[in-house]
């Protein structure tokens, strides 16, 4: 089985590549080749018993997508995207990467004869926008309030239409906010969900810009990779003509996150969280979803974490070598 | 006020142009210029007290959209589209006209400085797809089952995102099936809703390919033009960030259509309807919506017909010179 991953240098792309290298197979079929693509050079994971290639190219550039699928990968993970804040700041750039790039990739597949790969498209809960019901059902309308969300919704529509026509075999999964994101704090409005865990565990102060009552759906990076793998191997006949699935996310209050951190690492860790209300971030977050009823995903076997302690444990195992640091 | 109409040669475009010529004003403001655009030469309506220009051009062709909006029309009615059956038969052509054409037009407006026209986009209930609840609410998800529906949904998303950013002032209205369509019977699967009225009134036999129990939302051509005019003049602040509105349609059974025809034109007219079950058309129609709860539109003052007799009366007044023909 040949696999192509766009956005292979991103956080999820890197973890997906590592997992594929570790597993050596996808859905029981041995992997024979993995190609990682991004605008910056992706890291090649160690230990895969199969050749791993990489390219630093722009999927939206003319001819690039056609070259990428020429080798007819059986599964295409399309993760490449300009992030939410970036696509909001750079309107033309966001449409180019997130809409034109996606369309170019799907179009390159469409025009090939007898080639119908599984295409897993990383969508986002940003396809939904306030006002929301308290728990958002699977059949809630697409009302994005960011250009990123609009572009992801358009990607879902393209993927679904071409799948209905049998020209590719697409599954779009709407990822909730990923927590705990490894690496340095970033400028994303959602950054604090991860910062308030990762930074104290590293002995560093961090800022909580919103109320502890904020509730939001979260899933670990490991869960996100599990979702991608399941989307790559599920029986698409079970999806009918609705190829987009909202993924499970643990609907958790910030206060619960903090209590789980206290359980794990003690009061000293929690003391590193400085409350500093930021009306801009609080305003953005007020428009975000609090919870989803992800019944379709559950029926199809997608499982997220059920406590925040589980999400914390994933972070400790996958990022901290399994050792809970002593915070002084 | 300057007005641009794309799709000006289509049935709705022609009726809109006639209405604008008759009214001489839009929302109380005198019309100073009307430009009609289509891929075939549009008809110039008689009697407008203002200059009417026309062009036979393809909005999706490079540079065309920019030239069309150069005169900065205050209101743009974007009706140009490849129809449902056409876009299903010609995948690349449908995406070119319905997606690229719409994007080119919106993009041409976006890049102009200080130009924020009202853009009225003719969308369709084809943005929804089965399985449906019996009555479809305003917040039902976008699940098109045709390429045409996917393209209209994408147009809504583009229009909404650029409106949210203040780069244009868009309103998308999802039109129900229009009945009674004037002109010759066409190959559209929905054609029978109009054929079973128009043809008998003209003394011609026609075929009903589905059960009389089929229920579907209908609005007259005159109602469709009213919707467009209201969308052009409503206070968009009342829409918030949800720029797409499902329009009222009278949810009517075919049997009720036939009884209204009998009331109007007698048994001889009804006798011209030949029942000839077509399993293909019946199958397509089985996947269509039966009724919408168009509460948002109602709050904004959009009103459709409330009996099929009203829809019939519009046909007699607007197409038959107000005279009910004697059917022999």
Does A186 reside within a domain?
Answer: no
| Partner-chain residue, chosen from A145, A157, A241, that has the shortest CB–CB distance to B153 | A157
Residue of B110, B142, B165 lying closest to A142 (CB–CB): B142
Using N-to-C axis directions, what is the helix angle for B221-233 and B308-319, rounded to 10°? 90
In a domain, A252, yes or no: no
* Predicted complex ipTM: 0.96
Nearest CA in chain B to A148: B161
CA distance A241 to chain B (A): 7
Residue B121 neighbours by CB under 8 Å, 6+ apart? B78, B102, B155, B156, B159, B170, B171, B172, B173
- A251/chain B closest Cα distance in angstroms: 22
| Mean pLDDT of the B179-186 span | 91
pLDDT band at B186 (very low <50, low <70, confident <90, very high): confident
Taking an 8 Å cut-off on Cβ atoms, the answer to whether B158 and A160 are in contact is no
Which of B142, B145, B147 faces A241 most closely, judged by CB atoms? B145
**pLDDT tens digits for range A45-95:** 988 899 999 999 999 999 999 999 999 999 999 999 999 889 999 999 999
Q: Which of B95, B115, B148, B227 is catalytic?
A: B148
Q: With contacts defined as CB-CB under 8 Å, which chain B residues touch A139?
A: 140-141
Mean pLDDT of B121-134: 96
Q: Which two tokens stand for residue B195?
A: 């054929």
**Are B30 and B52 a contacting pair, CB within 8 Å?**
no
Taking an 8 Å cut-off on Cβ atoms, the answer to whether B165 and A91 are in contact is yes
pLDDT at A32: 97
A25 belongs to a structural domain: yes
Residue A42: what pLDDT?
97
Collapsing DSSP states into helix, strand and coil, what is residue A324? Answer: coil
pLDDT of residue B215: 97
pLDDT score, position A2: 98
B140 in contact with A, Cβ within 8 Å: yes
Chain A residue closest in CA terms to B89: A165
pLDDT at A47: 85
* A window 282-311, beta carbon within 8 A of B: none
Q: Are A158 and B150 inside 8 Å of each other by CB?
A: yes
- Per DSSP, chain A holds a count of helices (H) and strands (E) of 13, 14
* Exposure on the CB side of residue B179, measured as CA atoms within 13 A: 30
**3-state secondary structure (DSSP) of residue B264:** helix
User: Strand pairing partners for B123?
Assistant: B174
pLDDT of A248 > 80? The answer is yes
pLDDT digit string, tens, across residues A159-200: 999 999 999 999 999 999 999 999 988 778 899 999 999 999
Angstrom distance (rounded) from CA A36 to CA A53: 6
> Distance, in angstroms, between A187 CA and closest chain B CA?
21
Residues A10-46 have pLDDT tens digits of 999 999 999 999 999 999 999 999 999 999 999 999 8
Q: What is the pLDDT of residue A327?
A: 83
Instruction: Compare all CA atoms of chain B with the CA of A138 and give the residue at the minimum distance.
Output: B141
Residue B161 has pLDDT above 90, yes or no: yes
Mean pLDDT (whole number) for B227-232: 98
To test the contact with chain B by mutation, choose from A110, A129, A161, A165 the residue with the greatest count of B C-beta atoms within 10 A, namely A161
DSSP structure string for A97-148:
IIIIHHHHHHHHHHTSTT---EEEEEEEGGG--SS--SSB-TTB----SSHH
Of A140, A147, A160, which is closest to B161 when you measure between CB atoms? Answer: A147
- Check whether B246 has a pLDDT greater than 80: yes
Q: Is residue A322's pLDDT more than 80?
A: yes
- Tally of domains in chain A: 1
Q: Say whether A241 and B143 touch across the interface (CB within 8 A).
A: yes
> Is the model's pLDDT at B71 over the cut of 90?
yes
- Other beta carbons within 10 angstroms of residue A189's beta carbon come to 18
**A138-142, B274-278, B280-284: which has the minimum mean pLDDT?**
B280-284
Answer yes or no: is pLDDT of B72 > 80.
yes
A267 within some domain: no
C-beta of residue A275 within 8 angstroms of C-beta of residue A117 = no
Looking at residue A66, its pLDDT comes to 98
A contacts of B147 (beta carbons < 8 Å) = 161, 165
Which of the residues A96, A149, A150 would you substitute to probe the B interface, choosing the one with the greatest number of B C-beta atoms within 10 Å?
A150
Is B7 part of the contact surface with chain A (CB cutoff 8 Å)? no
A 81-110: CB under 8 A from B? 91, 110
Is B268 a domain residue? no
Min CA distance, B124 vs chain A (Å)?
Answer: 15
Is A142 within the bounds of a domain?
Answer: yes
Q: From the list A145, A161, A241, which residue is nearest B164 (CB)?
A: A145
Looking up tokens 């993927």 gives A159
Does a structural domain hold residue B69?
yes
Inter-helix orientation angle B254-265/B191-201, to 10°: 10
CB-CB under 8 Å, B143 with A161: no
Q: CA end-to-end span of chain B, whole Å?
A: 49
Residues of A in contact with B158 (CB under 8 A): 150, 154
Which of B150, B158, B164 is closest, CB to CB, to A160?
B150
Residue in B139, B147, B165 closest to A140 by CB: B139
Domain that holds residue A110: 2-176+219-246
List of chain B residues whose C-beta atoms are within 8 Å of the C-beta of residue A140: 139, 141
d(CA A14, CA A35): 12
Please tell me the predicted confidence (pLDDT) of residue B327. 83
Note whether B270 contacts A: Cβ–Cβ < 8 A.
Answer: no
B160 interaction partners in chain A (CB closer than 8 Å)? 143-144, 150
Q: Do B160 and A150 touch (CB under 8 A)?
A: yes
Percentage of chain A with pLDDT > 70? 100
Interface A–B counts its CB contacts (< 8 A) at 58
pLDDT number for residue B188: 80
| A134 touches B at CB < 8 Å | no
CATH of residue A76's domain is 3.40.50.720
Average pLDDT of the segment spanning B276-282: 93
Mean pLDDT of chain A, nearest integer: 96
- pLDDT class for B185, splitting at 50, 70, 90? confident
pLDDT over 80 (residue A328): no
Residues in chain A with CB shorter than 8 Å from the CB of B139 are 140-141
Average pLDDT score, chain B: 96
pLDDT of residue B96: 97
Answer whether B144 sits within 8 Å of A161, measured CB to CB.
yes
Distances (CA, A) of B285 to A96, B29, B182, B281: 37, 42, 21, 6
Of A150, A161, A241, the CB nearest to B157: A150
Residue A7 pLDDT > 90, yes or no? yes
Chain A interface includes B154 (CB < 8 A): yes
pLDDT bin (cut points 50, 70, 90) of residue B328 is confident
Burial B223-234 (b: 16+ CB within 10 A, else e): bbbbbbbbbbbb
The question of whether A115 is a catalytic residue gets the answer no
Q: Which residue of A has its CA nearest to B107?
A: A92
**Distance to chain A for B89, nearest Cα, Å:** 11
Find tokens 């002084």 and name the residue.
A328
Buried b / exposed e along B170-207 (16+ C-beta atoms within 10 A): bbbbbbbbbbbbeeeeeebbbbbbbbbbbbbbeeeebb
User: What is the token pair recorded at B74?
Assistant: 């205050």
Does B324 have pLDDT greater than 80?
A: yes
């Amino acid at each position: 089985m040949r696999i192509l991953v766009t956005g292979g240098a991103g956080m999820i792309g890197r973890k997906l590549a590592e997992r594929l290298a570790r597993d050596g197979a996808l859905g029981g079929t041995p992997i024979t080749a993995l190609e990682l693509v991004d605008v910056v050079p992706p890291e090649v994971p160690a230990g895969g018993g199969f050749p791993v290639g990489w390219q630093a190219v722009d999927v939206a550039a003319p001819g690039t997508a056609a070259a990428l699928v020429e080798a007819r990968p059986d599964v295409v993970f399309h993760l490449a995207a300009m992030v939410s804040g970036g696509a909001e700041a750079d309107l033309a750039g966001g449409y180019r990467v997130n809409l034109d790039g996606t369309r170019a990739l799907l179009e390159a597949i469409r025009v090939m004869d007898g080639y119908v790969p599984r295409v897993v498209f990383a969508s986002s809960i940003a396809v939904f926008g306030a006002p929301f019901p308290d728990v958002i059902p699977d059949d809630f309308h697409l009302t994005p309030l960011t250009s990123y969300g609009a572009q992801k919704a358009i990607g879902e529509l393209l993927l679904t239409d071409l799948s209905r026509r049998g020209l590719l075999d697409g599954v779009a999964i709407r990822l909730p906010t990923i927590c705990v994101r490894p690496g340095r704090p970033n400028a994303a409005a959602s950054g604090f969900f991860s910062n308030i865990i990762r930074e104290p565990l590293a002995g560093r102060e961090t800022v909580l810009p919103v109320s502890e009552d904020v509730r939001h759906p979260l899933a670990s990076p490991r869960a996100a990779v599990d979702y991608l793998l399941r989307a790559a191997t599920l029986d698409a006949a079970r999806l009918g003509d609705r190829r987009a699935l909202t993924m499970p996310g643990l609907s958790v209050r910030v206060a619960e996150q903090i209590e789980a951190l206290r359980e794990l690492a003690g009061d000293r860790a929690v003391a590193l969280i400085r409350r500093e209300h930021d009306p801009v971030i609080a305003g953005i977050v007020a428009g975000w979803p609090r919870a989803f009823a992800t019944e379709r995903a559950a029926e199809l076997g997608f499982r997220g974490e059920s406590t925040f302690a589980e999400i914390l444990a994933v972070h400790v195992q996958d990022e901290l070598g399994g050792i809970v640091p002593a915070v002084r």
